[in-house]
Amino acid sequence: MLWIAIRMLTGDAQKFYGLLFGIAFSTLLITQQLTIFVNLVERGASGVYNAPEAEIWVMDPVSRTTEVNYAMPSTALDEVRSVEGVEWAVPHLRAPASVRTSTGDLEGVQIIGVDDATLIGLPERLVIGDKRILYQPDTVLIDDFGVFNLFGPEEEPIGARLELNDQRAVIRGVTDSIPTFTSQVTLYTTYSRALNYVPGTRNRLTFVLAGVGEGETAQAVAARIERQTGLKAVTRPQFAQSGIDFIIENTGIPLNFGITVALGFIVGVAIVGLTFSLFIRDNIRQFGALKAIGVTNAKIVRMVAAQAAMVGSIGYALGVVGTVAFIWAFSGNPTFKGFYIPWQIPLLSLAAVVLILALTGWLGLRSVLSTEPAAVFR
């Protein structure tokens, strides 16, 4: 009977394609919007991801994220270094600044000062140049999104001169970084040079990045740092999560994306529900005849379930492929740099599709199951 069910479904091309469109559109909307949401909120942790060597982030107790921070006295670095289990500790400066470009434009940037000796705090890879170029005077590295933001397609960023707090800065490399949540231009330089680039305040050490010794865990060492120094020390995953949580708690993004995802679900239910119920209604006499002939309600349920499974699996696959195509198509755009589809999202949209089909299938089935076989004689 499943063969008949599938033929009944595919035989009505208009409704079949309508159902496919409904499921595919819903899947696309839910998967694509959730993907953008997850990737966008993960930008809240980009500062942590862009400094891969740091196993522990130490900061003033009021600091919350890489962007929302409060500077510490420079003595904090020595305090951290004195804690047992700390293999190494380096200063890390993050501060906003205004940059004047060669054309005279003013642009808000983020300055990141990394350890002068080890360069710990830089992103893992450079798109152009070498990390050691930072040892040259006045050198800054710019993140790849910053190139897109500050320079036109024909302009060459390498060698470009910038004015930072009345100081000269020359771009000599481009980092391969995950853009920040605010898509702000980021300039990397050495810690000592960064102190000159950002307006002077009494305390300017925003973070101490630390590594743990052999046989120690980041969690244990972080706890020890907190106990001994009174500073806040968190592991890399914890600090990344703090950045994500901050975006979720302090922006309207979850609500906005939540509304779109809900709309995707509602549109799916509406299109699929309407088309499925029309399909069932158009075939109600055939279903009634099958019941009279001797097809049990259980078989009818299996027939409708097979129809729903077929339309669901094809529509879902189309929706997921559509999302992959979307991400692929925009992968060259710096705004979408590093976007990926976490495996949980297709599972979530699959659950939504199953729910849509279960709901609409049940609504359609009600009329079939309640149809008396005798109705075919009327």
Partner 1 sequence: MSASAPAAARTHEAAISARGIVRDFEAGQTTTRVLHGIDADIRSGEMTYVVGESGSGKTTLISIMCGILWPTEGEVRVFGTDIYALSDTELVNFRLKNIGFIFQQYNLIPSIDVAANAAVPLIAGGMGVSEARERAKALLDKLNIADQADKLPSQLSGGQQQRVAIARALVHEPRLVVCDEPTAALDARSGRRVMDLLREVAVAEDRACIIVTHDNRIFDLADRILVLEDGRVIHDGADMPEDQ
Q: According to the 3-state scheme, what is the secondary structure of 266-278?
A: HHHHHHHHHHHHH
Instruction: State in angstroms the smallest separation of the CB of 296 from partner 1.
Output: 5
Q: Which residue type occupies 118?
A: T
- The single-letter DSSP state of residue 179 is P
Burial of 176 (0-12, 13-18, 19+ CB in 10 A): middle
Residue 321 and residue 231 in contact, taking contact as beta carbons nearer than 8 Å: no
Instruction: State in angstroms the smallest separation of the CB of 353 from partner 1.
Output: 24
Helix, strand or coil, per DSSP, at residue 257: helix
Nearer to partner 1, 296 or 333 (CB): 296
Nearer to partner 1, 99 or 308 (CB): 308
Nearer to partner 1, 10 or 219 (CB): 10
Instruction: State in angstroms the smallest separation of the CB of 295 from partner 1.
Output: 5
Which residues contribute to the site for partner 1 (CB under 8 A)? 1, 3-4, 7-12, 283, 285-286, 288-299, 372-374, 376-378
Nearer to partner 1, 133 or 301 (CB): 301
| Ramachandran bin of 138, using left for φ above 0, alpha for ψ from -120 to 50, beta for the remaining angles | left
Residue 139 and residue 172 in contact, taking contact as beta carbons nearer than 8 Å: yes
Instruction: State in angstroms the smallest separation of the CB of 274 from partner 1.
Output: 20
Nearer to partner 1, 297 or 335 (CB): 297
DSSP H helices, 109-150, are 144-150
Question: What is the chain's length?
Answer: 378
Instruction: State in angstroms the smallest separation of the CB of 290 from partner 1.
Output: 7
The token duo for 272 is 């699929």
Instruction: State in angstroms the smallest separation of the CB of 302 from partner 1.
Output: 12
Q: 190: number of CA atoms within 13 Å, CB side?
A: 14
Residue 124 and residue 52 in contact, taking contact as beta carbons nearer than 8 Å: yes
Instruction: State in angstroms the smallest separation of the CB of 11 from partner 1.
Output: 2
| 232-235 vs 167-175, strand pairing mode | unpaired
Nearer to partner 1, 131 or 302 (CB): 302
Q: Cα separation of 110 and 136, whole Å?
A: 20
Nearer to partner 1, 62 or 293 (CB): 293
Nearer to partner 1, 325 or 374 (CB): 374
Q: Cα separation of 121 and 45, whole Å?
A: 14
Instruction: State in angstroms the smallest separation of the CB of 281 from partner 1.
Output: 14
Q: Cα separation of 350 and 156, whole Å?
A: 46
Instruction: State in angstroms the smallest separation of the CB of 10 from partner 1.
Output: 7
Q: Which residue type occupies 136?
A: Q
Nearer to partner 1, 291 or 337 (CB): 291
Q: Cα separation of 166 and 198, whole Å?
A: 10
